[in-house]
């Protein structure tokens, strides 16, 4: 089965045909008809599996969950490396009303949890891990990998094409806290996006104008959430208002 | 670092203006810096064309703040830039130097309140004048200025009526005991002047722009400067950096139009400075003190457009003629009611004009480019 993660074209095969089917279900939103340039193979059967990349052993035999985690981690890294000219942000990105919502943050900040809630609220899914911003169009390019929730990977069925970013919300999850969407200074937002970027500090000179245009064209703020369902509703309302403003 | 130093910002430090603040990226260290609005204004001035004392004098004028205080702030801020190795000749890097913290109260890198601004006055005096069929209000915070206005606008003054404020003239103390007169239309700063005569000329132009119809003109929101019978137009030059830019253009001998919009003749494509629509007592105006630092405004008449300077803080300056027409027409006063007429006039205006894209109100770059075009 062939797949594409941003600009990285690859296949995944497995010795165990049932595991190969499971992987295909997990990665179905990345499925692609273009020829694969690289290949992953999960070797072994039963309860011990190893991972190879282009014929080289990547990880020693182990439980299936850790092998799949490693596979996703390798795909993430290859996806980031495949579009070096983009502004690559450690962020979830979703779409509603034709507007992209970027949720930057380090691991554990609630990106994937929020992404799952937003999908339930009707948002289209682009990624829960990497937001690749095309420097020309300022569109977020989809990378609909499986959601990484708690200790499990969850296949996604909702997907979206490239979308123009209209909102950047920095999620902060706090149990029981009231939901709030507080606008922030966009220069501060630019610094925060850069600090959550995979490649800004290496390519800042060429990416700074992209970052400038990105934040100037977006609502920027903090999303504090205790109840993720309410947060999703509030975010949807904000983005729909943004969409109305853009089409006036 | 002293007031006589002429520091220059490093060429390889990239900057982006975002909501009045500058975000800097230092390629050599990979560090990001976020400048306060005041530090941003100072940073933009570090182009090697002036000493810190001269920069402080410019900023003191623009912000209406005491020169001594501004000069101290400028020197302190530039020292901080030097400590962060953001200036030419400060590359003797020490890796163990602590970074400037954004919550350091003395740092130019903190977020602080907006730049000082005289704002609209608490009015001590008012005057209502008739301009065409409109009654327009003026407000003053200084009795001497109000007295001058009553004399100049006596032929059009209306008594027993107090119109809402359209034009305000605010007097503030500036450097070396001299005063500055700030002219506002509603709450928007339009210009600042040294002498009462020039301030009244500006007020007359502002009242005229509000008080009459100008059906023969397509009105664009842009700054008009004129020299040797030719015009340069700047898009969106309305904030503090724009005011600093117009100050530099004035020093280079360009006359700056007082109105918040400029008119384009729909038949010729030339920009038009209309005659005042308000009656004034010419003798009273001539009797008012003038200051040699004030340039006369452009005389009424038509001017061919030499260059449209697109101040492009978004990095999206259009490359095609149609895109440029749309960009220049976007802020036209009448675009909502006469799209075809405005686009036609702007197309005619731009047909013979150069299109220049500049970034972030880099005053030196703009002035040099305009000078080059003017020959």
| Mean pLDDT of the A175-188 span | 84
Q: Report how far residue A61's alpha carbon sits from residue B229's, in angstroms, rounded to the nearest whole number.
A: 82
| Mean pLDDT of the A72-86 span | 89
Interface of B with A in 60-119 (CB under 8 A): 111
Q: Are strands A130-133 and A87-96 parallel, antiparallel or unpaired?
A: antiparallel
Q: Report which DSSP code applies to A223.
A: E
B18, B29, B34, B315, best to mutate vs chain A, most A CBs in 10 Å:
B18
Q: Report which DSSP code applies to B337.
A: T
How many CB pairs below 8 A link A and B? 58
Q: Which has the closest alpha carbon to B304: B348, B261, B269?
A: B269
* Residues pairing with A100 in the sheet: A95, A165
CB contact under 8 A, B32 and A216: no
Q: Which residues of A touch B21 (CB under 8 A)?
A: 185, 187
Q: Which residues of A touch B25 (CB under 8 A)?
A: 194, 204-205, 208
- Asked if B315 reaches chain A (Cβ–Cβ under 8 Å), the answer is yes
B256 and B330 Cβ atoms separated by less than 8 Å: no
Residues of A with CB under 8 A from a CB of B: 185-188, 190-191, 194-195, 201-202, 204-205, 208-209, 211-213, 215-217
CB contact under 8 A, A204 and B111: no
B87 and B7 Cβ atoms separated by less than 8 Å: yes
Residues 6+ apart with CB under 8 A from B35: B21, B22, B23, B24, B43, B108, B109
CB contact under 8 A, B23 and A212: yes
Quick one: pLDDT at residue B100?
Answer: 34
CB count in 10 Å sphere of residue A236: 18
Q: Report which DSSP code applies to B162.
A: -
ipTM of the complex: 0.86
Q: Given B16, B22, B34, which is nearest A209 (Cβ)? A: B16
Rounded to a whole number of angstroms, the distance from the CA of A136 to the nearest CA of chain B is 10
- Asked if B28 reaches chain A (Cβ–Cβ under 8 Å), the answer is no
Q: Which residues of A touch B314 (CB under 8 A)?
A: 212-213, 216-217
Residue showing tokens 């007359």: B204
| Mean pLDDT of the A19-24 span | 92
Rounded to a whole number of angstroms, the distance from the CA of A220 to the nearest CA of chain B is 12
Q: Report how far residue A212's alpha carbon sits from residue B15's, in angstroms, rounded to the nearest whole number.
A: 10
Per-residue model confidence as pLDDT tens digits over B185-200: 765 667 777 788 988 9
Q: Report how far residue B187's alpha carbon sits from residue B99's, in angstroms, rounded to the nearest whole number.
A: 39
Q: Report how far residue A112's alpha carbon sits from residue A144's, in angstroms, rounded to the nearest whole number.
A: 12
CA A221 to chain centre: 19
Residue A121 has pLDDT above 70, yes or no: yes
Q: Report how far residue A101's alpha carbon sits from residue A126's, in angstroms, rounded to the nearest whole number.
A: 10
Q: Given A204, A208, A209, which is nearest B30 (Cβ)? A: A204
Residue A2 has pLDDT above 80, yes or no: yes
Quick one: pLDDT at residue A247?
Answer: 54
Q: Which residues of A touch B313 (CB under 8 A)?
A: 212, 216
- SS3 call for B364: helix
Residue A31 has pLDDT above 90, yes or no: yes
Q: List chain B residues with pLDDT less than 70.
A: 90-123, 165, 173-179, 186-189, 210-214, 236-248, 260, 312-316, 336, 359-364
CB contact under 8 A, A186 and B34: no
A129 and A90 Cβ atoms separated by less than 8 Å: yes
Q: Report how far residue B362's alpha carbon sits from residue B125's, in angstroms, rounded to the nearest whole number.
A: 38
B14, B15, B23, best to mutate vs chain A, most A CBs in 10 Å:
B23
CB contact under 8 A, A187 and B19: yes
CB contact under 8 A, B19 and A205: no
Quick one: pLDDT at residue B245?
Answer: 65
Residue A138 has pLDDT above 90, yes or no: yes
């Amino acid at each position: 089965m062939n797949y594409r993660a941003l600009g990285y074209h690859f296949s995944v095969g497995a010795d165990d045909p049932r595991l190969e089917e499971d992987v295909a279900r997990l990665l179905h939103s990345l499925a692609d008809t273009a020829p694969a340039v690289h290949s992953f193979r999960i070797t072994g059967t039963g309860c011990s599996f190893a991972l190879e990349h282009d014929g080289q052993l990547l990880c020693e035999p182990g439980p299936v969950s850790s092998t799949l985690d490693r596979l996703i981690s390798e795909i993430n890294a290859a996806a980031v490396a495949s579009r070096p000219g983009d502004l690559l942000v450690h962020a979830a990105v979703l779409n509603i009303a034709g507007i992209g919502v970027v949720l930057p943050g380090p691991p554990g900040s609630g990106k994937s949890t929020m992404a799952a809630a937003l999908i339930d609220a009707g948002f289209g899914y682009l990624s829960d891990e990497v937001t690749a911003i095309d420097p020309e169009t300022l569109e977020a390019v989809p990378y609909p990998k499986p959601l990484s929730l708690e200790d499990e990977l969850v296949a996604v069925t909702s997907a979206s094409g490239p979308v123009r970013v209209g909102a950047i919300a920095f999620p902060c999850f706090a149990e029981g806290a009231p939901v709030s969407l507080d606008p922030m200074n966009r220069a501060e937002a630019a610094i925060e996006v850069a600090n959550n970027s995979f490649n800004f500090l290496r390519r800042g000179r060429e990416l700074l104008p992209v970052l400038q245009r990105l934040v100037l064209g977006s609502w920027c703020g903090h999303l504090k959430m205790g109840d993720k369902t309410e947060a999703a509703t509030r975010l949807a309302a904000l983005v729909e208002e943004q969409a109305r403003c853009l089409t006036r | 670092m002293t007031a006589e130093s002429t520091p220059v910002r490093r060429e390889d430090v990239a900057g982006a203006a975002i909501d009045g603040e500058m975000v800097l990226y230092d390629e050599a260290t990979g560090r990001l810096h976020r400048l306060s609005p005041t530090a941003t204004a100072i940073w933009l001035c570090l182009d090697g064309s002036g000493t810190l004392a001269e920069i402080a004098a410019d900023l003191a004028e623009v912000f209406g703040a005491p020169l001594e205080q501004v000069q101290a702030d400028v020197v302190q801020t530039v020292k901080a830039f030097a400590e962060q190795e953001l200036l030419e000749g400060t590359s003797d890097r020490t890796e163990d130097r602590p970074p400037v913290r954004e919550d350091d109260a003395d740092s130019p890198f903190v977020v602080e309140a907006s730049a000082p601004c005289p704002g609209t006055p608490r009015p001590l005096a008012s005057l209502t004048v008739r301009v065409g069929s409109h009654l327009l209000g003026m407000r003053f915070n200084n009795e001497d200025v109000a007295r001058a206005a009553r004399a100049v606008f006596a032929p059009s003054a209306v008594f027993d009526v107090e119109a809402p404020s359209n034009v305000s003239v605010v007097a503030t103390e500036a450097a070396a005991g001299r005063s500055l007169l700030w002219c506002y239309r509603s709450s928007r700063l339009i210009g600042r002047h040294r002498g009462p005569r020039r301030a009244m000329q500006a007020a007359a132009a502002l009242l005229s722009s509000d008080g009459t119809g100008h059906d023969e003109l397509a009105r664009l929101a842009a700054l008009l400067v004129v020299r040797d019978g030719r015009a340069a137009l700047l898009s969106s030059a309305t904030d503090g950096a724009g005011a600093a830019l117009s100050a530099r253009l004035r020093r280079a001998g360009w006359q700056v139009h007082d109105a918040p919009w400029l008119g384009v003749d729909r038949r010729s494509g030339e920009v038009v400075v209309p005659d005042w629509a308000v009656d004034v007592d010419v003798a009273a105006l001539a009797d008012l003190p003038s200051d040699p630092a004030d340039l006369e405004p452009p005389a009424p008449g038509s001017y061919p457009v030499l260059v449209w300077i697109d101040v492009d803080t978004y990095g999206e300056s259009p490359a095609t003629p149609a895109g440029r027409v749309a960009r220049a027409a976007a802020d036209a006063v009448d675009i909502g009611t006469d799209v075809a007429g405005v686009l036609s006039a702007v197309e005619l205006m731009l047909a013979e004009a150069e299109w220049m894209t500049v970034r972030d109100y880099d005053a030196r770059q703009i002035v040099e480019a305009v000078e080059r075009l003017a020959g």
